[in-house]
């Protein structure tokens, strides 16, 4: 059992510290500020401290365009000259120094010695497990991994890891805190280097390299396959719905029949259950504006970037292309819904809805309308329109 004893309510944290303010630490700093927190930042490199404020000032207008908390202000940033100053009065510390195990362990020993035992100490590390980093700490029960994805101020996911039997309570606390500030945490059940996201990405990277080295294709081909192909749907369907889609009207069960299942029965049951959960989720049955903010992150950012870099016509073209790929885009006064292959309807996040609404006159009245989702009467699982899968 965890020995972590929380003192502060994770939903009303006021001050956090960011130690190391490069790409990731700077991103965390900007994000926490955008959520109305006081941020005390420290980096030993003087030029980095100067750069931090300039970087945040540069991205602030974009953050403002997205979702600033009412109390958010750059004035809540205190750039500190010493680590002690940065730790003064904070309830949560996000460490983001370079990926060096010895350096991070030494820093955690220092953070442990200089903060009270209720302060959660989180690392942004991309691979190390918390047990390793807490080996010199007197209070390891508050040491956790909180691994973000760059750009940290935009991508909502944070992977959380505890030291098994020690910092589980701190991870629970951090989960509540991160949810309260708008992040989407996922907790791993046990420690593993590289966590989930990086391990999945590594599989793609390794296979792409093999295909290129063995002369099957170029990296440009790989990119096109992802960007114009399965990446489009995977971004908001994840893997379980991807499987479900692959089974046509029979859904995932048909997929199992067609391709078999090479893993354990437990993993297969987990996959089935995940498909079911997705089908039963409120977003599936009863869409609400802004409900699926994370799910749509990649298309959202692609859309924002396209509009910013190449203007409105490029965004319209992109939407038309997605429509041809089977994503039906409809909109009304309140929201823009996206149906992919008639199986999944995803609501745009509020902020992009606003963006679209503002320029509504330039959008075509209706891109296309496809018949609604087919739902298996026994399982309640929705499946896709078959012709699309052949496209
Ligand atoms: N870059 C990514 O895409 C990414 C994504 C997720 C997690 N991470 C992880 O985040 C961490 C930071 O990565 P980054 O890309 O921001 O690196 P970075 O090199 O951009 O920044 C590291 C910062 O740490 C500072 N630093 C070095 N030693 C320090 C110390 N002892 N105390 C305080 N600050 C110190 C450096 O001056 C620098 O500003 C790493 O653990 C990395 O694995 C990186």
3-class SS of residue 230: helix
Q: Which residues, including other chains, have CB under 8 Å from residue 12's CB and lie 6 or more apart?
A: 180
pLDDT of residue 35: 95
Name the residue among 96, 91, 167, 85 with its Cα closest to residue 125.
Answer: 96
Domain that holds residue 89: 10-187
Domain boundary among 162, 187, 212: 187
Ligand 1 within 6 A of CB of 96: yes
pLDDT of residue 317: 55
Residue with tokens 């945040």: 56
Atom of ligand 1 nearest to the CA of 104: 31
Is 304 within a domain? yes
Is 74 within a domain? yes
Interval 19-51: pLDDT, tens: 999 999 999 999 999 999 999 999 999 999 999
Ligand 1 within 6 A of CB of 130: no
Band (pLDDT 50/70/90 cuts) for residue 137 is very high
User: Ligand 1 centre from 95 Cα, in Å?
Assistant: 8
One domain for residues 235 and 372: yes
Is 219 within a domain? no
User: Ligand 1 centre from 321 Cα, in Å?
Assistant: 38
**pTM here?**
0.77
Band (pLDDT 50/70/90 cuts) for residue 57 is very high
> What percent of the chain is helix, strand and coil (3-state, nearest 5)?
50, 15, 35
Is 27 within a domain? yes
Reading the block at residue 106, the tokens are 């030494």
One domain for residues 160 and 260: no
One domain for residues 294 and 149: no
One domain for residues 129 and 237: no
Mean pLDDT of 258-265: 92
Ligand 1 within 6 A of CB of 106: no
Q: How many domains does the structure of the chain reveal?
A: 2
Which string of DSSP letters, residue by residue, matches 348-377?
PPHHHHHHHHHTGGGS-S-S---PPPEE-T
- Do the bridges between strand 336-340 and strand 327-331 make them parallel or antiparallel, or are there none, so unpaired? antiparallel
User: Ligand 1 centre from 52 Cα, in Å?
Assistant: 13
One domain for residues 19 and 168: yes
């Amino acid at each position: 059992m965890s020995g972590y004893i929380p003192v502060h309510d994770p939903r009303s944290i006021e001050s956090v510290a960011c130690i190391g303010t490069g790409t990731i630490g700077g991103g965390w700093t900007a994000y926490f500020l955008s959520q109305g927190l006081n941020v005390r930042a420290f980096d030993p490199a003087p030029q980095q401290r100067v750069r931090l404020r300039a970087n945040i000032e540069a991205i602030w207008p974009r953050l403002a365009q997205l979702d600033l908390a009412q109390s958010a202000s750059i004035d809540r940033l205190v750039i500190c000259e010493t680590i002690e100053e940065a730790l003064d009065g904070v309830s949560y510390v996000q460490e983001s120094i370079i990926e060096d195990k010895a350096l991070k362990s030494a820093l955690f020993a220092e953070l442990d010695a200089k903060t009270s035992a209720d302060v959660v100490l989180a690392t942004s590390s991309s691979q190390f497990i918390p047990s390793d980093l807490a080996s010199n700490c007197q209070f390891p029960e508050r040491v956790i991994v909180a691994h973000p994805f760059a750009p940290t101020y935009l991508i909502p996911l944070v992977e959380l890891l505890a030291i098994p039997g020690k910092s589980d309570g701190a991870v629970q606390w951090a989960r509540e805190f991160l949810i309260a500030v708008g992040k989407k945490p996922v907790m791993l059940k046990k420690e593993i280097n590289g966590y989930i996201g990086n391990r999945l990405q590594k599989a793609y990277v390794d296979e792409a390299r093999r295909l290129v080295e063995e002369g099957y294709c170029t990296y440009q081909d790989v990119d096109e396959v992802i960007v114009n192909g399965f990446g489009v749907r995977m971004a908001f369907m994840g893997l379980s719905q991807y499987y479900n889609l692959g089974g046509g009207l029979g859904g995932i069960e048909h997929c199992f029949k067609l391709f078999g299942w090479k893993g354990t029965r437990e993993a297969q049951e987990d996959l089935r259950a995940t498909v079911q959960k997705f089908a039963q989720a409120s977003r599936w049955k009863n869409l609400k504006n802004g409900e699926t903010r994370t799910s749509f992150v990649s298309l959202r950012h692609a859309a924002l970037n396209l509009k910013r870099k190449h203007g409105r016509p490029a965004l319209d073209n992109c939407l038309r292309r997605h429509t041809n790929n089977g994503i039906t885009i409809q909109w009304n006064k309140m929201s823009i819904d996206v149906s992919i292959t008639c199986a999944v309807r995803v609501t745009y996040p509020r902020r992009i809805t606003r963006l679209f609404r503002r320029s509504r006159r330039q959008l075509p009245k209706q891109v296309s309308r496809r018949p609604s989702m087919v739902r298996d009467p026994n399982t309640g699982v929705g499946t896709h329109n078959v012709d699309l899968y052949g496209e």
